[in-house]
């Protein structure tokens, strides 16, 4: 009895999705896309930095991000929750006008 599920997971759970790199971010990562497993954007980007140390770390400092098509803008990356099956787009600054 009393075998109910217990959850110690705060308010969010890990989500699995895809992170897509564009332009300079794609060149720095060496791949166009890869899977992520994270609760929020900050965790997904930390994992990408750990997986691709070097140039990608520098490129990510200048990038903007879309999460499931919505611009992240100036929101703290820790507050941007990721959905199961979601997509993070990594967009470096583009030249031109």
Instruction: Tell me the pLDDT band of 5, cut-offs 50, 70 and 90.
Output: very low
pLDDT tens digit string along 22-55?
Answer: 999 999 999 999 999 999 999 999 999 999 999 9
Three-state SS for 68?
coil
Two structure tokens written together for 69: 């098509």
Q: How far apart are CA 30 and CA 54, in angstroms?
A: 12
């Amino acid at each position: 009895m009393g075998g109910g599920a217990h959850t110690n997971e705060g308010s969010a759970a890990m989500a699995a999705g895809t992170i897509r790199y564009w332009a300079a971010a794609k060149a720095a990562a060496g791949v166009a896309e890869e899977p992520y497993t994270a609760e929020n954007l900050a965790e997904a980007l930390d994992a990408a930095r750990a997986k691709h140390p070097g140039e990608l770390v520098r490129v990510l400092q200048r990038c903007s991000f879309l999460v499931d098509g919505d611009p992240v803008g100036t929101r703290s990356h820790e507050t941007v929750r990721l959905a199961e099956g979601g997509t993070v787009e990594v967009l470096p600054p583009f030249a031109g006008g």
